[in-house]
Structure 1
């Protein structure tokens, strides 16, 4: 079973259906309906996403591991391992692209997130930002379209989910503002907890439509 971006609600859809809680925080960016139609939050299986590119939270060997990394390698089949063997690994913050083989997506961006350390918070933030920005740039380089992100470094690498999600979303916002080639960014989350975190943070970076003015009856009641 596969899921295409057209099957997944956009932020504009989620705001319209009230699926994203109202936030009292002041947005960091202006409201832009066109941008809200290019971003999604989806709780599902990234190996079933039929997109132009998916982003794998890889380790530095690029040869597979646990969690999402292992799931992607298993679902893609042995040819993915063979291609990754020839890439020579990757540094933290670096991204390399391969075919997707038996997956429904066309390409895989393998990005190496930082192992979180509170004593190196700024360095970790810069490296994580690079994971997202280089993945987006490579998606553009390969023709754009849709890209699905796993939540990089928030599993065994220990990056606090709130801070990591802010970096993911803000990097996406600035990238989409600068270029039209990416039609959809899909944040693929595994748990209800992670979905709730994304939904709580996203209004600051992709605000909902301004509240409509009250009707005459409401204003005079």
Structure 2
């Protein structure tokens, strides 16, 4: 009797074929949404601009799937291999592909293709596979000393693969990760580049492709489930949350990683100081407002200020002298802070002061100075953010020398009042450590869904050291537990709004025996 088990299938038989039409598309994939951990107001509309907006038409073209790539009934599959297609470095699917495709595949590779360089992609027939084509690509070896080179090479892998998809008029393709742990590439770092490149490709050429399957192993699945929503959000709320969790370097319009060193050295009109290599003068001429005033997402990581790095040659020189990267970064941050403080003390900032969005009031019950920030008075989309930063330093510098408290009045703010998220991250990274150390409480009055989201993100990923110092209060009177009414100067529109939503007296201040917040 002829055996028909897994090892002895009848000639021409196809077992366990996976029909991609029966797989769940990304727009219908049931995963926990990113915003479920935020206590939101269900009826509140979210106004936010992101680099990767929610697009159901693109989500219907994406499938996330774990399994044997050779079982998918797609026109093309991607084979992640090495330069000479031999057995020295293989991905888990490599052996299966060669085995099921038959000896003709290896013969074509040896006789016609011969070699595939790192970052390149080559097309062959699928032979005995379900797929008509196989696209072979070689991912980079990862070395933390040459991260930018590895990122550029990995981007090139995916870009070349997708280019072959277009040129060959392939409608359905399964992408296996080109970034291999066997070559030391971190799974999550590689997933960002893979998914981002596909997103940008579909934005431009989505009409030419029907389905792209992200095929991965069980070990890779968790990373892809976590990162896919950042670039392919499935709802408006997930889009808003994703915008806060995106990495600083989201690449250019094609998804290609931005290399900060190139941004420093390529200038349309070099200044005399930069031609002399006078680094101090070059940094003084940086237009921070131009960097900050753009959207949260379009300029992230494009300038060395965003990367918190200085001239690469200077950093290398310091490293040779024995300084660690952390020590060098701290030194550069300190230098930037001191230069900005010098400007804050001397420049004319009367136009920012006239906004009355940041000012010093009296003290709390423990004698700590209180600083008020009025969100509604801050024109976040039109103000000169560089001058706003300088004014903040001028107001805060005398206060932060000892314990202090900040009250943020979020009352009646709109999207136009919200500064870009990357601006907040950069400013926080720039500030002297005494700002974090001496801050004892940060009160947010009349919080909204957006403020809760932004606060959760900021204190989770950027400012974890102040997370336990942030308090959201739904009314001004809750402040009276730690700040006496006659010690805090609150604008009339805030108190009017407070009475409107909470009533004239909704909170009974504790007696003196009770502890303050």
TM-score by shorter chain over 0.5: yes
> Counterparts of 1:179-218 in structure 2 under 5 Å?
179=205, 180-191=207-218, 193-210=219-236
CA–CA distance in 2 between the matches of 1:87 and 1:39? 30
Gap regions ≥5 residues in structure 1? 212-221
> Counterparts of 1:133-148 in structure 2 under 5 Å?
133-148=159-174
Q: CA-to-partner distance for each residue in 1:145-182, whole Å, 9 max, x for gaps? A: 11101111223112100100000000000001101211
For residue 202 of structure 2, what is the aligned residue in structure 1? 176
Which residue, 133, 141, 144 being the options, matches 1:115? 141
Shift, 1:21, TM fit = 2.1
For residue 70 of structure 2, what is the aligned residue in structure 1? 47
CA–CA distance in 2 between the matches of 1:150 and 1:75? 17
- Tell me, yes or no, if structure 1 residue 105 matches structure 2 residue 105: no
Change (3 A) 1:37 1:205: same
Q: Is the 8 A contact 1:148 1:185 kept in 2?
A: yes
Choose 158-167 or 66-75, whichever is displaced more. 66-75
For residue 189 of structure 2, what is the aligned residue in structure 1? 163
TM superposition score normalised by structure 2: 0.39
CA–CA distance in 1 between the matches of 2:211 and 2:162? 11
SS of alignment partner, residue 177 of structure 1: helix
Shift, 1:47, TM fit = 1.1
SS of alignment partner, residue 35 of structure 1: helix
Q: Is the 8 A contact 2:19 2:72 kept in 1?
A: yes
Gap regions ≥5 residues in structure 2? 1-15, 39-47, 238-517
CA–CA distance in 2 between the matches of 1:209 and 1:178? 21
Shift, 1:116, TM fit = 0.9
Which residue, 54, 77, 94 being the options, matches 1:69? 94
SS of alignment partner, residue 80 of structure 1: helix
- Tell me, yes or no, if structure 1 residue 91 matches structure 2 residue 117: yes
Q: Is the 8 A contact 1:94 1:134 kept in 2?
A: yes
RMSD: 1.7
Q: CA-to-partner distance for each residue in 1:180-215, whole Å, 9 max, x for gaps? A: 211111011111x3112111111110111225xxxx
Choose 153-162 or 41-50, whichever is displaced more. 153-162
More strand as a share of residues: 1
Q: Is the 8 A contact 2:68 2:93 kept in 1?
A: no
Q: Which has the higher contact order (CA 8 A, sep 6+)?
A: 1
Q: CA-to-partner distance for each residue in 1:62-115, whole Å, 9 max, x for gaps? A: 345532222211111100001111212111000000001111011000000001
Which structure has the greater CA radius of gyration? 2
SS of alignment partner, residue 158 of structure 2: helix
Q: CA-to-partner distance for each residue in 1:105-135, whole Å, 9 max, x for gaps? A: 1100000000111111000001001111110
- Tell me, yes or no, if structure 1 residue 58 matches structure 2 residue 84: no
Q: Is the 8 A contact 1:129 1:171 kept in 2?
A: yes
CA–CA distance in 1 between the matches of 2:127 and 2:86? 15
Q: Is the 8 A contact 1:165 1:198 kept in 2?
A: yes
Shift, 1:140, TM fit = 1.1
For residue 435 of structure 2, what is the aligned residue in structure 1? none
TM superposition score normalised by structure 1: 0.88
CA–CA distance in 1 between the matches of 2:123 and 2:107? 13
For residue 273 of structure 2, what is the aligned residue in structure 1? none
Q: Is the 8 A contact 1:57 1:112 kept in 2?
A: yes
Q: Is the 8 A contact 2:78 2:136 kept in 1?
A: yes
CA–CA distance in 1 between the matches of 2:179 and 2:196? 16
Q: Is the 8 A contact 1:28 1:204 kept in 2?
A: no
For residue 79 of structure 1, what is the aligned residue in structure 2? 104
CA–CA distance in 1 between the matches of 2:51 and 2:32? 17
Q: Is the 8 A contact 1:93 1:111 kept in 2?
A: yes
Shift, 1:28, TM fit = 4.1
